[in-house]
């Protein structure tokens, strides 16, 4: 199956990145948001990212213009009637994702593939909310999408091989590497990484050290580009909290349980870099 027209639902941190790489890779790409305000904000962040790439010489002016020409925004799901692939990147909430995929399913052509960028929720549960479960797949990108090389492709037990092959070919055409994962919470990367990040918050809560020292220790000791607190601020603490709840709910293993400090920060409206307040403050 040939993918030419791509839809992305949600133009936040991840949706904007996915739409950017899709348009950069030659696909006619349309993003859907809840209202004009969020749509304008999302499109502006994609434009800013393209401007930065062009100013650093990572893409030509001509490519920047052509990419912008392939990118459109809408607040009407009906505009997805001609999409070959739709990737949802709305908030990490099963009810919202089911609602979104069911509405996209109603308007998309029968051949279209529907994908979710969820970090840990069940793809099969989302698939069963649509009339085409065999064409619903997990495509888990990493942040920042234009930079990170990996897409985890999440396979359910009802998927067709054609859907898997099309999702794999599309991911590779974006310049990404693919790994396949089973439809279990957290897939591969988050299942490995979550106990580490939740443990970092517990260590802070118990007063072992400071945010800065914890990050510095991890970076120096492991030669990593960023420490756990910076990483969680970048990912969004609200998203981290939803993921921890979902993983703990499934596994009932305390290593995934959201620590009280994470819950308190989210309750206090500290969502990380996206709203300027997290473990660190951002302008
Ligand atoms: N943040 C990360 O590092 C990261 C990494 C990989 C995957 N993910 C996953 O990607 C998804 C999105 O995360 P994010 O960090 O981009 O969140 P975000 O809060 O930055 O963006 C979500 C966007 O979805 C929009 N939205 C919500 N409901 C919608 C609807 N019904 N229709 C259209 N738009 C809607 C919101 O307005 C918002 O702009 C989540 O499932 C998350 O788990 C996040």
Name the active-site residue from 49, 140, 171, 242.
140
- Active-site annotation holds for 152: yes
Q: Binning pLDDT at 50, 70 and 90, where does residue 1 land?
A: confident
Give residue 208 CA to ligand 1 midpoint distance, Å.
Answer: 32
Domains 5-182 and 191-275 fall in the same CATH topology? no
Which residue in 36, 61, 97, 40 sits closest to 246, CA to CA?
97
Range 5-182: architecture per CATH: 3-Layer(aba) Sandwich (3.40)
Q: Which ligand 1 atom sits closest to the C-alpha of 42?
A: 39
Residue-wise pLDDT for 103-133, tens only, equals 999 999 999 999 999 999 999 999 999 999 9
What residue ranges line ligand 1, CB within 6 angstroms? 9-15, 32-34, 38, 89-92, 96, 100, 117-119, 140-143, 235-236, 239, 274
- Active-site annotation holds for 117: no
* Boundaries of every domain in the chain: 5-182, 191-275
Report, as an integer, the average pLDDT of 142-156.
Answer: 97
Entry pTM: 0.94
Q: Which ligand 1 atom sits closest to the C-alpha of 11?
A: 39
Residue 283 confidence (pLDDT): 87
Q: What is the residue with the minimal CA distance to atom 21 of ligand 1?
A: 12
CATH number among 1.10.1040.10, 3.30.70.100, 3.20.20.70, 1.10.300.10, domain 191-275: 1.10.1040.10
Q: What is the mean pLDDT of the chain?
A: 97
Give residue 101 CA to ligand 1 midpoint distance, Å.
Answer: 14
Q: What is the residue with the minimal CA distance to atom 35 of ligand 1?
A: 10
Output the DSSP codes for the chain. Answer: ----EEEEE--SHHHHHHHHHHHHTT-EEEEE-SSHHHHHHHHHHHHHHHHHHHHTTSS-HHHHHHHHHTEEEES-GGGGTT-SEEEE---S-HHHHHHHHHHHHHHS-TT-EEEE--SSS-HHHHHTTSS-GGGEEEEEE-SSTTT--EEEEEE-TT--HHHHHHHHHHHHHTT-EEEEEESSTTTTHHHHHHHHHHHHHHHHHTTSS-HHHHHHHHHHHHT-SS-HHHHHHHH-HHHHHHHHHHHHHHH--GGGSPPHHHHHHHHTT--BGGGTBSSSB--
User: What is the percentage of the chain residues whose pLDDT exceeds 70?
Assistant: 100
Residue-wise pLDDT for 7-27, tens only, equals 999 999 999 999 999 999 999
User: What is the percentage of the chain residues whose pLDDT exceeds 90?
Assistant: 99
Q: Which ligand 1 atom sits closest to the C-alpha of 141?
A: 6
Report, as an integer, the average pLDDT of 148-174.
Answer: 98
Output the DSSP codes for 165-198. Answer: HHHHHHHHHTT-EEEEEESSTTTTHHHHHHHHHH
- Active-site annotation holds for 111: no
Residue-wise pLDDT for 172-229, tens only, equals 999 999 999 999 999 999 999 999 999 999 999 999 999 999 999 999 999 999 999 9
């Amino acid at each position: 199956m040939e993918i030419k027209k791509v839809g992305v639902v949600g133009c936040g941190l991840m949706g904007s990145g996915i739409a950017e790489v899709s348009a950069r890779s030659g696909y006619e790409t349309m993003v859907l948001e809840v209202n004009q305000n969020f749509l304008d904000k999302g499109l502006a962040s994609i434009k800013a990212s393209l401007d930065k790439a062009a100013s650093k010489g990572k893409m030509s002016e001509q490519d920047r213009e052509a990419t912008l020409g392939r990118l459109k925004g809408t607040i009407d799901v009906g505009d997805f009637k001609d999409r070959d692939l739709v990737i949802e990147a709305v908030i990490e909430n099963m009810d919202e994702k089911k609602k979104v995929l069911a509405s996209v399913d109603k308007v998309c052509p029968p051949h279209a593939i529907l994908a979710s960028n969820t970090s840990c929720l069940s793809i099969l549960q989302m698939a069963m909310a649509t009339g085409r479960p065999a064409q619903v797949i997990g495509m888990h990108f990493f942040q920042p999408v234009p930079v990170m090389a990996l897409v985890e492709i999440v396979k359910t037990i009802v998927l067709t091989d054609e859907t898997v092959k099309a999702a794999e070919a599309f991911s590779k055409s974006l310049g990404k590497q693919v790994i396949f994962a089973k439809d279990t919470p957290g897939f591969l990367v988050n299942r490995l990484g979550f106990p580490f990040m939740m443990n970092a918050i517990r260590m802070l809560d118990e007063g072992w050290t400071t945010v800065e020292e914890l990050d510095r220790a991890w970076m120096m000791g492991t030669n990593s580009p960023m420490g756990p607190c910076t990483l969680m601020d970048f990912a969004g603490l609200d998203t981290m909290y939803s993921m921890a709840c979902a993983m703990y709910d499934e596994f009932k293993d305390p290593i995934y349980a959201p620590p009280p400090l994470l819950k308190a920060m989210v309750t206090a409206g500290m969502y990380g870099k996206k709203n300027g307040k997290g473990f660190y403050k951002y302008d």
